[in-house]
């Protein structure tokens, strides 16, 4: 695990476009085998029965394939549950077709009362959860820290970073941090591209992995899967064929990239109970397992930076985190993610010396060189199909930036070109990179006194 400072959605940003996997792997080695019996699921029979009763009640007449899809349980498990319910006159066969799978079920009055009692015990209705023991084993199997795990190469890092204007020394620090699976602190002025850089690093983590839709702790359900974070990989070879023999309670996803910023508070690092749904929602660092957790704007959170780091010291060392359910029940949750801190404050004003030592690598991300800045502007123009003009670029760098004292930061070209496009669209003309267009966009970004300084 990343030094195991190793590790949405209210505190997350959807993952950026992903780097395609070089080969589409079969999902059979990724997902667990399908549970054929209730015992195989690891769940209490009463819990599975309650899920089935609630699912039928919510559907009225429930076809067997619909129940299987909603609960992510095999037909054999469902039949094991349904047969006793039919014998006890809680469920009836509402309709039967030619196939033994082509059947619909509905609740009897006795079953309606049983479903109401099930809802009183737990309101959750969705994919059947997996046990914490199964989840711990899967996270361990997929852990980043394994000695034989795929390592990031210099060529892969260069391909993802492209021409990002980073000094060779900085690239070396980034590569070493990823290779060693250790935590990383990105520091530099606001707008220097730290957040975007962290997201690019997240794309280098090898995937795909298995992620459960939900976990169960005792009789409490923890919703874990988030489609905005656990992004499906490219189409997998023989996917439909393989899925028939795989446990559908797990989804195949690329390694997650979870991003939190200044909104992060103590309560966000704990399980959050949703009384309406009757479930707990997983905190960001649990959703980031087997992936990357980016903690942005460090020093501006609703908790001190040293306290934030101290919250993770134990999990960093042990690979486990303790999360508390209502009533005080604590559960050990695996902790395996790459952790990247980012701040625009001076690191020694954010962390004390002891805290800084706990962070594996530090990389300063600063202003770009004029040549790299020109290359970035040229690349952004190409993406927007705006003709690049060297004279306008020179005016931007040598006059506007130089006279205002504003550093050549990564954020400016994209923002300027967006404004040039906006002004052109409003005027009903084609967007062009000209001195006049750059001047107009620049003036709209900063107050006049600042622009004339």
- What CATH number did the domain enclosing 86 receive? 1.10.10.10
Q: What is the pLDDT of residue 406?
A: 94
The CATH number of whichever domain residue 271 belongs to comes to 3.40.50.300
Peptide bond before 208: cis, by omega within 30 degrees of 0? Answer: yes
170: containing domain: 2-32+132-364
Q: What is the pLDDT of residue 451?
A: 42
CB 348 within 8 A of CB 356: yes
Domain's final residue, options 364, 397, 418:
364
Provide the 10 A C-beta neighbour count for residue 11: 18
Domain's final residue, options 313, 346, 364:
364
Provide the 10 A C-beta neighbour count for residue 302: 12
Whose tokens are 């939900």? That residue is 214
Determine how β-strand 250-253 pairs with β-strand 320-324: unpaired
> Rounded CA gap, 95 and 230, in Å?
38
Q: Which residues pair with 222 in a beta bridge?
A: 215, 280
Q: What is the pLDDT of residue 447?
A: 79
For the record, the structure tokens of 88 come out as 């006890």
Closest by CA to 238, choosing from 65, 24, 75, is 24
What residue ranges of the chain have pLDDT lower than 70?
1-28, 236-244, 448-453
For the record, the structure tokens of 292 come out as 């990357």
274 and 302 fall within a common domain: yes
Sequence-separated (6 or more) residues with CB below 8 Å from residue 316: 3, 4, 5, 6, 183, 335, 358
194 and 265 fall within a common domain: yes
For the record, the structure tokens of 404 come out as 């205002």
Report pLDDT digits (tens) over 242-278.
Answer: 566 899 999 999 999 999 998 999 999 999 999 888 8
- Residue 435 sits at the vertex; the CA angle it makes with 432 and 436, to the nearest 5 degrees, is 80
- Residue 34 sits at the vertex; the CA angle it makes with 39 and 115, to the nearest 5 degrees, is 55
> Rounded CA gap, 20 and 385, in Å?
24
Q: What is the pLDDT of residue 430?
A: 95
For the record, the structure tokens of 36 come out as 């054929």
For the record, the structure tokens of 139 come out as 């996270």
Number of domains the chain contains: 3
Q: What is the pLDDT of residue 423?
A: 97
Structure-derived torsion over alpha carbons of residues 326, 332, 333, 337, reported in degrees to the nearest 10: 130
Q: What is the pLDDT of residue 22?
A: 41
79 and 196 fall within a common domain: no
Domain's final residue, options 342, 364, 386:
364
> Rounded CA gap, 16 and 18, in Å?
6
């Amino acid at each position: 695990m990343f030094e195991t400072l190793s590790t949405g959605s209210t505190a997350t940003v959807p993952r950026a476009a992903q780097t395609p996997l070089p080969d589409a792997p079969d999902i059979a080695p990724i997902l667990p085998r399908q549970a054929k019996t209730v015992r195989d699921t690891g769940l209490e029979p009463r819990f599975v029965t309650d899920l089935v009763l609630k699912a039928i009640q919510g559907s009225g007449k429930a076809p067997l394939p619909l129940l299987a899809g909603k609960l992510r349980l095999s037909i054999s498990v469902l039949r094991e549950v349904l047969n006793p319910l039919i014998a006890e006159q809680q469920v009836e066969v509402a309709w039967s077709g030619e196939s033994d799978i082509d059947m619909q079920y509905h609740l009897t009055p006795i079953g309606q009362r049983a479903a109401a009692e099930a809802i009183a015990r737990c309101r959750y209705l969705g994919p059947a959860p997996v046990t914490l023991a199964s989840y711990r084993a899967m996270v361990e199997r997929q852990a980043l820290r394994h000695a034989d795990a795929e390592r990031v190469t210099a060529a892969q890092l260069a391909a993802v970073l492209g021409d990002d204007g980073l000094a060779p020394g900085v690239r070396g620090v980034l590569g070493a941090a990823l290779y060693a699976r250790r935590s990383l602190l990105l520091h530099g002025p606001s707008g220097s591209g730290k957040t975007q850089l962290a997201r690019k690093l997240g794309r280098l983590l090898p995937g795909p992995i298995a992620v459960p839709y939900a976990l169960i702790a005792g009789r409490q359900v923890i919703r874990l899967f988030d489609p905005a974070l656990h992004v499906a990989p490219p189409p997998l070879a023989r996917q439909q064929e393989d899925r028939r023999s795989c446990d559908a309670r797990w989804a195949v996803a690329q390694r997650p990239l979870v991003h939190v910023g200044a909104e992060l508070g103590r309560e966000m690092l704990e399980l959050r109970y949703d009384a309406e749904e009757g479930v707990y929602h997983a905190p960001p660092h649990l959703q980031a397992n087997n992936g990357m957790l980016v903690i942005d704007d460090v020093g501006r959170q609703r908790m001190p930076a040293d306290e934030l780091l101290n919250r993770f010291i134990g999990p960093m060392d042990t690979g486990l985190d303790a999360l508390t359910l209502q009533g005080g029940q604590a559960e050990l949750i695996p902790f395996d993610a790459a952790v990247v801190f980012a701040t625009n404050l001076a690191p020694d004003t954010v962390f004390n010396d002891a805290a800084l030592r706990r962070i594996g690598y530090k990389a300063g991300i600063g202003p770009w060189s004029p040549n790299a800045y020109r290359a970035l502007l040229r690349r952004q123009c190409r993406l927007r199909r705006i003709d690049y003009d060297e004279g306008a670029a020179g005016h931007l760098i040598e006059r506007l930036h130089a006279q205002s004292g504003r550093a050549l930061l990564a954020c400016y070209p994209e923002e300027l070109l967006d404004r040039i496009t906006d002004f052109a669209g409003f005027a009903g003309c084609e967007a062009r990179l000209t001195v006049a267009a750059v001047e107009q966009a620049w003036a709209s970004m900063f107050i006049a006194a600042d622009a004339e300084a």
